[in-house]
Structure 1
Amino acid sequence: MATAEMPSEILFDNEVVKVTLYADEGGCVYFHDILPADASPRAQGTPHFESSATPLSEVRLSGEGNSQSKTSKALVGSYVGTRLKYRSHEIKTDEAQGRKTLDVALHDEQTGITVTSHMTLFDGLPVLRSSTTIRNDGTKDVVVTQISSLVIGGLTRSKEWWADFNVSYATNTWFREAQWRGMSLPDVGLDDFGLYQLDQGHLAPMSIFNVSNRGTFSTQGHLPIGILKHRNNAETWLWQVENNGSWKWELGDWKDDLYLAATGPNSNDHDWRQRLAPGDSFTSATAAVCHIFGDVDAAFGAFTQYRRRIRRDHPDHKHLPIIFNDYMNCLMGDPTDEKILALIEPVAKSGAEYFVIDAGWYADDNDWWDDVGAWEPSKKRFPMGFKNLLDKIRAAGLKPGLWVEAEVIGVRSAVADALPPAAYFQRDGERILEKNRYQLDFRHPAVIERMDGVIDRLVTSYGVAYFKFDYNIEVTQGTDVASSSPGAGQLAHNRAYLRWVSGLLDRYPGLVIENCSSGAQRMDDAMNAVHTLQSTSDQQDPYGTPPSRPRSILPWCRSRRRPGRTRSPGGMMRRTR
């Protein structure tokens, strides 16, 4: 269904959720609600609810800050957002894929840009997926400094939302991932009580609460996910940003209620700017949101089903084999013929189906950190021949796997200067150095050609059936090579890397590729929608690895090992659905 007439309301729904949008008299489009399909429309709660709605898309162009009283650090209140007017909308149903999409096109007459919000619903799931495309339909270049993935105002319909709702977010460190912290809204600086006492025409105070990340470690510090829940656990909002790089989400108060905004990189936080010549377009990162009248567990149940729906299909997801990795509590990056041979029989008897040789297989000694990049097996470590060793793993009924850091080359590597300068991340003409390693730029065809050759050789010549793709440096600078800005170069690399991994799985459909990054420092759903499984932690104490529940803060003790309990040899990964 397509229309050129401006509707007063747009309904977009499936069996379990209904999404409504409306356009005001001036043509600005807003989210009205995201509700369970069987729910009655929510009461407005405050006498001026409509004023707390936010424009469907918030876009900033170079030189423009905020048009209204919110701080320019916020993701809302842009000049363009208020200028964007309804142009058309279209709903498409894809029965084969079990989903439908809504595209709402908006236009800014002043600059000539057209912004299209893309929304997707999947059959049977109460989760809305959202992204935004901006196209320059004007006559001169524009420089985009922010483009929202999702903006929803009027979240709570509560007159005292600061007392009725709490926010939760998850910290994520190298040895302690997915640790949820719950706080009251006043504790994070969101308390509108004083504003109502002023009554001086203020739209909102300047305070915002945001969680963000900058750099190639997409989940270092925090996961790109948040929760807003009612104190009686009867209502929950859950959202995430799906980007394997920089991102930001924020909560803030706007007039009479809370808003949620999410985005990939932007200028203020991530040195991102995208120049668009006439006819050029750019699409934002993706975000997803769920709103249910239920508790956090119910919301995560829906999100789990959503994540399974968006991931790339793979036979591994149905079989769920057990994987043995020789790193933690075992060889710790020092494999040899003798050590691997001693492990094969007990690993086979354990019921594992994959035997993964982790770091060190490519180096003659343990001083290999800044020497990686050639990805040739060490003859010193494996005098019997690496292929012969992998053949013995196969003979025991196990599939061999290898650890590889595909995106880096060490400064001492024999291939450190084998690629052209533009194949590496750079700033101001200098190759970026991080922990004695260089960052490869997967936009460059020489990088793709080289890494395709490496993986093809290991698969076809050695019979490798599993790769643990690790990544252990963090580049926050981005790259200014062939890009509008360092942040734009980094984002383009991120997307090119995912295309490369997808290409490997297209060529080798049975190949298993694990997503690892110093444990789980890239545990985002852009990566996990493509990779086969996720590495969870470099924490070697099993009592330190479980994530905390969203409802509470679990105490963290330095040692929880029970008396008499010993560590198991090697890292055994048991799969769960």
Structure 2
Amino acid sequence: MAVANGSPMSTGSASQLVHLYWGPTLPRDEDYIQHITFPERSSFDYAPLIWPHEYRPWHGRMYQEPSLRVTFSDGTRDVAWKFERAEVAAMKDTHRLTLCFSDPKGLDIKLHYETRDEQDVIARWVEVTNVSQDIVQVTHLSSAVWSLPILPAYRTTTVYGDWGREFQLQRSFLSYGKQVIESRKGHTSHQTNPLFMLDSGNANEESGDVWFGALAWSGNWKIAFERNTHNQLSVSGGLNDFDFVSVLGPREKVASPHFYAGYTNDGFGGASREMHRLAHRIQEEFGTKERPTPVLYNSWEATYFDVNEPDQMKLAEIAADLGVELFVVDDGWFGRRNSDTAGLGDWTVNPEKFPDGLDPLIRHVQGLGMKFGIWVEPEMVNPDSDLYRAHPDWVLHFPDRDRTLARHQAVLDYSNQAVRDHIFGLLDELLSRHSIAFVKWDMNRPLTEPGSATLAPDMQPEVWTRHVEGLYEILGRLHTRHPNVVFESCSGGGGRVDLAMLQFASQFWTSDNTDAYDRLRIQEGFSYAYPASTMRAWVTDSPQFMNHRKVPLVFRFHSAMMGALGIGADISQWTTEEREEAAKRVELYKTIRHLVTDGELYRLLSPTFGTVSGADTGGIGAGYGGGYGVASGDAGAWSAVEYADQKGTEAVVFVLGRGTQYGDPTPVIRPVGLDDNMVYTLEVLDVHTADEQRFYGMWDLAPRSGLAWARMGFRLLLRGDYASAIIRFKAVVE
């Protein structure tokens, strides 16, 4: 049965669910049918070991990465599943296949497959139900196993990083054996992200076979790539089995996260655009797609914890003059919050900082034509807080062990319903009493001592998953009660970015590192799975704390305008000239915002790989650190990103570079998202270069067809440090 992308499977023999094909759709249903036969070479090489399994419950001689492991009450620790039936359902544009299996000891297993019309992505997840009268412990639960066709080589594209260095792209060929990416920290993590792309080593940005996927989960997760000596590759993923258990009583069930995957022959760019469409669809389904994405001002770097009503009003007045549409008060407005050592957990307005509450500030902000937003960190508590003093047992901890603090805070026990109800009540009251349009939800530390005062000893490892489920519960309840409030997901920057959070959040805080040059690589890695509309990007002061380098204000704006634009600088210290410069760019951003947030994204020059990312151009301007205008060994010399509307009538290209060498212009930039037969004019919307006369002197502004622009491209002579330009293509209306 072809599910999507031409991805059929067979129940094979002995209830072994075998994958047959994953790739472009074939012309006939009969083309998918094939008989899987592998001879048994020895007692060590059990034939089913090399079958391309669709799912792998642990039993018998199944030695690969398991998909499902359980412990029954009699000590049995395997799953002897038997195929029962297939169920097919259609709902509007959605199609679902459910394969039902059972184990005679009292276990029902359902493998779900779901596709949507007009989108070549499959969603898979698994439900396990205890139908016995005894306790069953699930100790490993994957969402899916994806089997790739046999290729001469397998190259992975994933991301790595840490705080302030999220979403760093890396590509490597898989050797034989198993490679794992994972999080064990209780959130999605800064160190990696649950996304992957796979190719044979021949794909480029806009052509070639690419298989891709992403896991929708905001806690501990694991994705394993396993390549055997027969050159078969499988990708399994789901809940991390590290310190994992789900204890099921009679009739209780557990479900895995959704694991999305797809195939394209349009290269890495085609895979990213499929992922972006998926993200937009999730947001549309759950009501979190905000349009237009407002230009935001956040007062954190202007005031830090020294928040008060007069200063915030002054900042709001300046922000309104810049064209800002949403004014956000960050940390420091609540409890006895004068530093990061106290106040977390006490979500009531600080009466010394706001003697009359928040309403006077909110009315002032709204009177200036802006919406009002606020920062919270509801999963955390300081020991120096009223909440902790009243309920010290409400934090995660192990009995008779020290409680690990990070940033002077502990983690609340979201497995405890009383804790969840308390936090929901405080936030519900805050949003009910005040006209708040936006909430930045932060999480500034990972989990430690994952123990709960309310769970039985054998259920303690459930804290990991129950924390995430509790987070989803609170956000879901708030979304139901306050459907017009927009949430932004933050975890010390990009520590909680994943598809599941898009059910509740309109944007992600991409990184605490707002250095405009560093952001080029962070934003490129982010774009591999998540659309620009979800990528909040700020303009902050220079020098910035991360690198202390001086970057021009124009470059900082151009870098941030490639996402959901925000400003986080101390604008009270900006000169009149700087404010005028900023207002000009905010106004410009609003004219191209529809392209950035809803256009198709094309990566034309990579700040990571230094490659020409458009059509195959025979290597002109391409290569790892090679090509015109790219210094050897400095792959990040230039970045160029295009956003094009889906009708092909308009596109905008951002070009940014740290600086030229030897007087060379940029590599040839070839726009991709234009209609071959339409004629386009090229217009410079904004430019920062040390030599504008020579910049404009090399232009040939004659209109050309989309195909001509794509084949011939253009080059810019951007001189000086941190030079940049914004270019617009517009179709000529005849």
TM-score over 0.5 for the pair: yes
Q: For residue 460 of structure 1, report the CA deviation from its aligned partner.
A: 2.8
- Report the more deviating stretch, 339-348 or 360-369: 360-369
User: 2:433 aligned to 440, 461, 468, which one?
Assistant: 461
Q: How far apart in 2 are the matches of 1:54 and 1:85?
A: 18
Q: How far apart in 2 are the matches of 1:337 and 1:528?
A: 33
Whether the aligned pair in 1 keeps the contact of 2:219 and 2:465 (CA below 8 Å) is: yes
Q: How far apart in 1 are the matches of 2:451 and 2:464?
A: 6
- Written as runs of structure 1 = structure 2, the 5 A alignment for 1:471-490 is 471-480=443-452, 481-482=454-455, 484-490=458-464
Q: For residue 42 of structure 1, report the CA deviation from its aligned partner.
A: 8.0
Tell me the alpha carbon deviations over residues 253-309 of structure 1, each in whole angstroms, 9 at most, x when there is no partner: 24521111111121xxx2011222332221112211112233111011111111221
User: 2:202 aligned to 204, 210, 232, which one?
Assistant: 232
Say if 2:102 is the partner of 1:107. yes
Match of 1:511 in 2: 485
Whether the aligned pair in 1 keeps the contact of 2:305 and 2:337 (CA below 8 Å) is: no
User: 2:164 aligned to 165, 168, 175, which one?
Assistant: 175
Match of 1:404 in 2: 376
- From the superposition, tell whether residues 32 and 236 of structure 1 become closer, same or farther in structure 2 (CA, over 3 Å): same
- Written as runs of structure 1 = structure 2, the 5 A alignment for 1:94-173 is 94-95=91-92, 98-109=93-104, 111-153=105-147, 155-158=148-151, 160=152, 164-173=153-162
Match of 1:576 in 2: 597
Say if 2:345 is the partner of 1:373. yes
User: Residue type of the partner of 1:253?
Assistant: R
Whether the aligned pair in 2 keeps the contact of 1:182 and 1:550 (CA below 8 Å) is: no
Percent identity for Structure 1 against Structure 2: 20
User: 2:53 aligned to 52, 55, 64, which one?
Assistant: 55
Q: For residue 560 of structure 1, report the CA deviation from its aligned partner.
A: 6.3
Match of 1:388 in 2: 360
Say if 2:256 is the partner of 1:261. no
What's the C-alpha RMSD, in Å, of the aligned pairs? 3.3
- From the superposition, tell whether residues 38 and 298 of structure 1 become closer, same or farther in structure 2 (CA, over 3 Å): farther
User: Residue type of the partner of 1:258?
Assistant: L
Whether the aligned pair in 2 keeps the contact of 1:36 and 1:126 (CA below 8 Å) is: no
- Written as runs of structure 1 = structure 2, the 5 A alignment for 1:181-192 is 181-185=170-174, 190-191=175-176
Match of 2:509 in 1: 535
Whether the aligned pair in 2 keeps the contact of 1:59 and 1:147 (CA below 8 Å) is: no
Q: How far apart in 2 are the matches of 1:566 and 1:549?
A: 16
Q: For residue 48 of structure 1, report the CA deviation from its aligned partner.
A: 4.8
Report the secondary structure of 1:34's partner residue: coil
Match of 2:263 in 1: 291
Q: How far apart in 2 are the matches of 1:543 and 1:294?
A: 29
Whether the aligned pair in 2 keeps the contact of 1:379 and 1:386 (CA below 8 Å) is: no
Q: How far apart in 2 are the matches of 1:361 and 1:551?
A: 31
Report the secondary structure of 1:371's partner residue: coil
Whether the aligned pair in 2 keeps the contact of 1:315 and 1:510 (CA below 8 Å) is: no
Q: How far apart in 1 are the matches of 2:353 and 2:256?
A: 46
Whether the aligned pair in 1 keeps the contact of 2:336 and 2:343 (CA below 8 Å) is: no
- From the superposition, tell whether residues 174 and 394 of structure 1 become closer, same or farther in structure 2 (CA, over 3 Å): same
- From the superposition, tell whether residues 212 and 486 of structure 1 become closer, same or farther in structure 2 (CA, over 3 Å): farther
Count of residue pairs brought into register by the alignment = 523
Match of 2:650 in 1: none
Decide which structure has the larger Cα Rg and report it: 2
Tell me the alpha carbon deviations over residues 408-458 of structure 1, each in whole angstroms, 9 at most, x when there is no partner: 11100022133473x432323768443232322234332233223322332
Match of 1:203 in 2: none
Report the secondary structure of 1:510's partner residue: coil
Whether the aligned pair in 2 keeps the contact of 1:53 and 1:152 (CA below 8 Å) is: no
Q: How far apart in 2 are the matches of 1:135 and 1:81?
A: 15
Gap regions ≥5 residues in structure 2? 40-46, 71-76, 529-545, 558-566, 570-585, 599-734
Tell me the alpha carbon deviations over residues 345-375 of structure 1, each in whole angstroms, 9 at most, x when there is no partner: 2211222221000011125563243331112
Match of 1:278 in 2: 250
User: 1:447 aligned to 419, 442, 447, which one?
Assistant: 419
Match of 1:426 in 2: 397
Whether the aligned pair in 2 keeps the contact of 1:479 and 1:485 (CA below 8 Å) is: no
Report the secondary structure of 1:545's partner residue: helix
Q: For residue 184 of structure 1, report the CA deviation from its aligned partner.
A: 1.6
Q: How far apart in 2 are the matches of 1:451 and 1:382?
A: 22
For normalisation by structure 2, the TM-score amounts to 0.65
Report the secondary structure of 1:148's partner residue: strand
For normalisation by structure 1, the TM-score amounts to 0.82
Q: How far apart in 2 are the matches of 1:313 and 1:77?
A: 30
Tell me the alpha carbon deviations over residues 442-493 of structure 1, each in whole angstroms, 9 at most, x when there is no partner: 3433223322332233223232221111111111432244254443122012
Q: How far apart in 2 are the matches of 1:322 and 1:240?
A: 29
Q: For residue 341 of structure 1, report the CA deviation from its aligned partner.
A: 2.0
